[in-house]
Amino acid sequence: MFGENIVLGNTECKVDTKGRIFLPKFSYSEKYDEIVFSVNDDNTILLNNLVCLKRRINELEKNISNESDERLIMSLNNKLESIYFSCISVSKVDRQRRLIIPMSIRTEHDISDSVILQGCGDHLKMFNSSESYENYKMMLKQL
């Protein structure tokens, strides 16, 4: 399930008539994972595995041993809080590793036939077109 493993790679995913996409293998997603959709500052859609983030925090809290662990817990708590506040929807992965992109997100972000998923460490970024993905890559090169 993404969140515990480093997620790298990108792929185009077809959106079916019900708004579902098959999650790629590099996402490490499992059935019934809860995926939080949120909007980043650059207007990209982020996908985070909610259960995984909570599990990481709980494991760290149980095994806290020094000040750096405390800082890591605070960092994860801040990330989780940020995800909660920027959350626009939550969806569960089904038995076939499909994820429904809610209609409100498809409408607001002009998603129709396909999306591009980009692995970004412990989360995914979703782009509504190859053009928006290429624009994002160009923006990163300029930084």
Q: Residues 28-40: pLDDT tens digits?
A: 788 899 999 998 8
Measure the CA–CA gap between 110 and 119, rounded to whole angstroms.
Answer: 21
Cα–Cα distance list, 80 to 51, 58, 75, 117, 142 (Å): 11, 12, 9, 21, 29
* pLDDT tens-digit readout, 47-83: 988 877 777 777 767 776 777 777 877 887 787 777 7
Contact in structure between 23 and 93 (CB atoms under 8 Å): yes
Measure the CA–CA gap between 8 and 16, rounded to whole angstroms.
Answer: 24
Query: What's the pTM?
Result: 0.79
